[in-house]
Structure 1
């Protein structure tokens, strides 16, 4: 290798560069086509009719008035739907929690408010929407329960299942918590209440199903998993897996709402197969509140510390909402012992089944909820002991994951603390609450820690040297707006020693190489590792072909004795000896050279370590002393997440999480009137989120972190970690500003007046 380094200098690697999104031009010019924008001939439109009661039975459905209107084709409901396979439905969805997944139109029973109960199909969307109002439905109502707080005594342990692989249960108790807590000279406890949140991506959920005949369909769907939807459709409708193709090239935001197949997919395929026509079904904004949500959760904490500032007792309990038909769970209470080494712990997590739809993963599920309680309680302890909150966390810094007794594959959280504090100016903080002012505004500084598990799932990728000597890579993975296309292209370019212009990455199509659902911050680690594996296999094929050429100088050369750069395979010992990709293709009879490979996490190696991304957030708030209005004036988030493939797209991810943190802490909540079991603010006018005027100085720091264990790329993912630390940092800053600790999210101004 030393000879090559002296004699040959390949161009600057793509990985590590801040490259703008490759699809950016298409998105800003409107050229990008989403699921509801594909031009399809002979297209019908479906409009879903939703239940107006929360629990009960459908007594009758009268469709005569609606079907009498010219242009109305059919109304599908439980009495006239075609028979369905419903084959192994629980396992037809990669993201299904334990239980019995909801089956649209299965029978006359109403399980939750807004349940889809019919589909009206017409020649235009406007006609379908209008005619749907003419369908007359009578119900028999039953008593229901939708209030978590009122029914908290009904909490029970969640059922187990395959979901525990990605969502492990709370760790077992350690030591004697009750005794240790009772004897602790410093104690902090709290009750934390989080309201319901809905995802609300800008793009509405739409499915366009193109009927191909003989049980074959091509589906354009808004989803975070093309293969997941393919699996779902094939199993529910009894179709051959290869006869179902799901395409999702662009996704206008999802945040977890597209992990599971949503009901517009079911209705679109149902109508297309039955009518033998192309059918598009779009859910309106109101209907976006009728599936999935971040569950309301009540948490209780008790933390104890000794006189020397060491936390010695950790108790964290959470009770969350789930549906009556599935046990949706989150990892809420597991994080504190991963962060802080206490010898006595007690963790509990329980569910209350209610008459609601199953909750659904929403960015940093469980983590953004649990860390609010953990980091606010830690802050409370620090103030009691009169220790700087940052210093308190450094005193309790865990060198390994005490919850499982394993070292971290890498951990640069200490540098997150130090670099973030320096950038923010934490040392300028007056430690006394309510001591800092700016005019009539109370000023507060708050900080908190973030953590998110670094995961890798099995994935497959295809890599091909084209007849032009360029590289084509593909994967079924979607790009939900995170920069997946760009990042995967960077990885592929470096693996084969090519310029970005010589790489094409196609994606978002279930017929391509297998990819898991896109979520959990594991996409780059999973699909990126698959691309690396496919390219490595492709290199071996290129070398093998080069060896077969007559009088080849590569006859006795091994794979580690060549380098791939500038569309060539080059000898390391003698850079004058090379063969271009084009010449390799010519020697191959002008046929492409292709490799399709899986990347699997190295389970036996990884089980010896805990893998996590870490962060530290520092926040300044201003609180109007008379009106209680809260404004986040500036914030810094320092992140350690292994290798950062593209600092520009990664920074965008963290900034998005920081903005969402402001939303979570101060704005966002779905309000339920439990007399009706119904969300009352089912629109983005009354579902409050931040606007431009709410966002000020936000800064992101990526702390250098090398990890040779976590996966082949050394990546950890940044999708979730940006939303982990900042919400509790905002709450802690509000306490510092006002002297009042508010443990209910979102924090409304009236609680501070």
Structure 2
């Protein structure tokens, strides 16, 4: 749906979209190369040195100290080049932690063990198979100590966060007075499990040294962060580190930080004097590269007699690795989603012998909305009110937590549009009233939301002698469509055919861009590309108006535009000349300009920036097996300007599918005795497949948010996962009358409810 009230005069480009994904053909043909696939290039670059292969050795206890590592048999195994352990690994400088999270790494610098599955050694061999075999021959003796496990039994030990990304506890209004006014109160506890990212491309790194210069191909969401972290760990100038990653096979947050294996791969390369490839196995992805923390969320909501919220309380407890705090800020959306004068939130942590947790798609809001939207549904039922009406009654016109105006908010329209397309008025509010044979049908809804983030970014644009346009930025493409977005922005700004645009990203020598996380890449990189194009147009115009032989001589540079490969006067279209004359004028040399974009500090102080969505779900629950079928999902999102239909809808639909997994299937199971993750594979870690998703009907309100950025576009990579799990839980209740508050909602839990 394209909103009729779109501001046609807003400066968001001319609306041209690429007919295909810029990188689509390469991916379909298998020609898009990922980090682990550059062995040949590295061998050629580094004087024919043959590639060798590294394999991580992981701990088998959760807490203690390594007494010895017998590598005798492994050293004699076929193809082994070198084995690194805490007893012989090179010492690295102690460096300050790097953003976006602090990340205490396991780099073989001591013999301590903090979790089961922690890297404690690296085997380097002539092949991957030989390295893995040799690793299995290493005999490790430990001095074990009692691990801190059993999260649910230790909630009483919860403490305040030590730092990291922890938000401050918030309290707004007079708590005692507010609760005294509440005539209807809902107070419940919801829990969500540990989850693991599992992108299609596992983490992988290739590293090689040329003297004191380091080249790394790494599966990363943040090449600039990789570069900085590697430089600091090896005491190198930044210019001595080159990080490359043209394509990322998914990341979802796990690849947003530099993990231990990246540094260890570079260490191994330095020791053996050859390029080293370290590709993690699927089982090794559970623990050493983070995951979404488990949460226990206590929510208390109170309303007056009319159903208006008078008090809200959201308290979250989650586990923390004893190595480092990482906080799943699950209560943040509660401070701004609904109008209420008294809001209190808190986050606490329980120390555990687990790997450091990390950002996972919509960190905080994904599980936070799961609990909050379930609680809102319970409140509506207790009030005998339609769940949608309750949300409209408590609609926040401005951010109640920060007391700021929203940069843009069209959530009411999203509610109306999605409800109409879904057929919400046909819902029977009596649980179990809608039946089809042995299936009980239920309708549920929820609100989706995610912050609109933006950081500083730069881009370079060049008019090449061939007449092609080059655009480059040190950002990443996780499959979200960054190649397409960059090319499309050039097409819109310079009015050139898309197949005349060359896009380069995923290279740390290009202008710096932020981490591809927090749904900020398009909102950050887009304005930089747009500005680069504007600067190039101005340069070409200035060159033309200064040339007596030009038809545009002595015109005003600001009066000249680029149209169809021509420099053209806006006031007199008869005055124009081909772009090729600019190259001739520049003696055949490349013409280059830089562009930048960064958020306005003044605007960020005055405005609250978020995206919004309304999600409606129909489920059918078999009354005999209690299996849940998600039949259809209808959602409308307010994400500012939709820059590309194909890539944008793909992101929203993908987030919804992930939300179905959050609701019904995904859980990383930790053994509370050994600390081992027992389902560390895709056979037992259940993610939704096509048959689990049903029909997905996604729409957007295409209204630019110009107060947020010049293109009016907010990021959409993560909002799709928010709200959907709560909507499914609410639909299951409507179908069965059973409220399950422990996610994922599996048949046994419905049966026991």
TM-score (norm 1): 0.95
Runs (5+) with no aligned partner, structure 2: 1-11, 44-49
Q: 1:193 is paired with a residue of what secondary structure?
A: strand
Q: How does 1:604-643 map to 2 (within 5 A)?
A: 604-643=602-641
User: Is the 8 Å Cα contact of residues 622 and 632 (structure 1) preserved in structure 2?
Assistant: yes
User: Is the 8 Å Cα contact of residues 91 and 109 (structure 2) preserved in structure 1?
Assistant: no
Cα distance in 2 for partners of 1:752, 1:672 equals: 22
Aligned to 2:672: 674
Aligned to 2:444: 446
How far apart are residue 679 of structure 1 and its match? Answer: 1.0
Aligned to 1:116: 119
- Select the residue among 328, 331, 344 that pairs with 1:330: 328
- When residues 19 and 365 of structure 1 are mapped into structure 2, their CA distance, relative to the original with a 3 A threshold, is farther
Cα distance in 2 for partners of 1:111, 1:197 equals: 19
Q: How does 1:353-364 map to 2 (within 5 A)?
A: 353-364=351-362
What are the superposed Cα offsets for residues 336-372 of structure 1, whole Å, 9 maximum, x if unpaired? 2312111222211112222111111000100011111
The answer to whether residue 685 in structure 2 is matched with residue 687 in structure 1 is yes
- Select the residue among 44, 57, 75 that pairs with 2:83: 75
What are the superposed Cα offsets for residues 242-267 of structure 1, whole Å, 9 maximum, x if unpaired? 12111111111111110011222122
The answer to whether residue 158 in structure 2 is matched with residue 155 in structure 1 is yes
Aligned to 2:274: 277
Q: How does 1:468-483 map to 2 (within 5 A)?
A: 468-483=466-481
Aligned to 2:39: 39
How far apart are residue 180 of structure 1 and its match? Answer: 2.3
How far apart are residue 15 of structure 1 and its match? Answer: 4.0
How far apart are residue 739 of structure 1 and its match? Answer: 0.9
User: Is the 8 Å Cα contact of residues 299 and 314 (structure 2) preserved in structure 1?
Assistant: yes
How far apart are residue 58 of structure 1 and its match? Answer: 0.3
Cα distance in 2 for partners of 1:457, 1:146 equals: 38
Aligned to 2:7: none
Cα distance in 1 for partners of 2:394, 2:552 equals: 57
- Select the residue among 709, 712, 717 that pairs with 1:711: 709
Cα distance in 2 for partners of 1:72, 1:86 equals: 30
User: Is the 8 Å Cα contact of residues 86 and 237 (structure 1) preserved in structure 2?
Assistant: no
Cα distance in 1 for partners of 2:632, 2:736 equals: 17
How far apart are residue 604 of structure 1 and its match? Answer: 0.9
Cα distance in 1 for partners of 2:558, 2:161 equals: 51
What are the superposed Cα offsets for residues 389-435 of structure 1, whole Å, 9 maximum, x if unpaired? 11111111111111111111110101110000111111111111111
- Select the residue among 82, 101, 104 that pairs with 1:101: 104
User: Is the 8 Å Cα contact of residues 470 and 581 (structure 1) preserved in structure 2?
Assistant: no
Q: How does 1:321-470 map to 2 (within 5 A)?
A: 321-470=319-468
User: Is the 8 Å Cα contact of residues 245 and 509 (structure 1) preserved in structure 2?
Assistant: yes
The answer to whether residue 726 in structure 2 is matched with residue 742 in structure 1 is no
- When residues 18 and 417 of structure 1 are mapped into structure 2, their CA distance, relative to the original with a 3 A threshold, is farther
User: Is the 8 Å Cα contact of residues 20 and 649 (structure 1) preserved in structure 2?
Assistant: no
What are the superposed Cα offsets for residues 481-508 of structure 1, whole Å, 9 maximum, x if unpaired? 1111011110122112222112111111
The answer to whether residue 572 in structure 2 is matched with residue 602 in structure 1 is no
Q: How does 1:186-205 map to 2 (within 5 A)?
A: 186-205=184-203
Cα distance in 2 for partners of 1:169, 1:452 equals: 18
User: Is the 8 Å Cα contact of residues 215 and 273 (structure 1) preserved in structure 2?
Assistant: no
Aligned to 1:214: 211
Runs (5+) with no aligned partner, structure 1: 1-11
The answer to whether residue 72 in structure 2 is matched with residue 64 in structure 1 is yes
RMSD (CA atoms): 1.6
How far apart are residue 183 of structure 1 and its match? Answer: 3.5
Cα distance in 1 for partners of 2:19, 2:592 equals: 27
Q: How does 1:136-151 map to 2 (within 5 A)?
A: 136-151=139-154
Cα distance in 1 for partners of 2:491, 2:18 equals: 14
How far apart are residue 194 of structure 1 and its match? Answer: 0.8
Cα distance in 2 for partners of 1:330, 1:687 equals: 21
Which region of structure 1 is more displaced relative to structure 2, 524-533 or 258-267?
258-267
Aligned to 2:21: 21
Cα distance in 2 for partners of 1:290, 1:330 equals: 16
Cα distance in 1 for partners of 2:634, 2:18 equals: 20
Cα distance in 2 for partners of 1:406, 1:555 equals: 49
Cα distance in 2 for partners of 1:317, 1:557 equals: 64
Cα distance in 2 for partners of 1:739, 1:209 equals: 56
Q: 1:678 is paired with a residue of what secondary structure?
A: coil
Q: How does 1:493-508 map to 2 (within 5 A)?
A: 493-508=491-506
Cα distance in 2 for partners of 1:347, 1:85 equals: 39
Q: 2:568 is paired with a residue of what secondary structure?
A: strand
TM-score (norm 2): 0.95
The answer to whether residue 163 in structure 2 is matched with residue 173 in structure 1 is no
What are the superposed Cα offsets for residues 669-712 of structure 1, whole Å, 9 maximum, x if unpaired? 01111111111111110111112221211110111222110011
Aligned to 1:129: 132
Cα distance in 1 for partners of 2:461, 2:205 equals: 30
How far apart are residue 665 of structure 1 and its match? Answer: 0.5
Q: 2:632 is paired with a residue of what secondary structure?
A: strand
User: Is the 8 Å Cα contact of residues 199 and 254 (structure 1) preserved in structure 2?
Assistant: yes
User: Is the 8 Å Cα contact of residues 530 and 595 (structure 2) preserved in structure 1?
Assistant: no
Aligned to 2:726: 728
Q: 1:332 is paired with a residue of what secondary structure?
A: coil
How far apart are residue 556 of structure 1 and its match? Answer: 4.3
User: Is the 8 Å Cα contact of residues 14 and 491 (structure 1) preserved in structure 2?
Assistant: no
Q: 2:147 is paired with a residue of what secondary structure?
A: coil
- Select the residue among 59, 62, 65 that pairs with 1:51: 59
- When residues 237 and 546 of structure 1 are mapped into structure 2, their CA distance, relative to the original with a 3 A threshold, is same
Aligned to 1:304: 302
Cα distance in 2 for partners of 1:590, 1:17 equals: 31
Aligned to 1:248: 245
Cα distance in 2 for partners of 1:478, 1:21 equals: 15
Cα distance in 1 for partners of 2:284, 2:134 equals: 17
Which region of structure 1 is more displaced relative to structure 2, 342-351 or 643-652?
342-351
Cα distance in 2 for partners of 1:504, 1:751 equals: 53
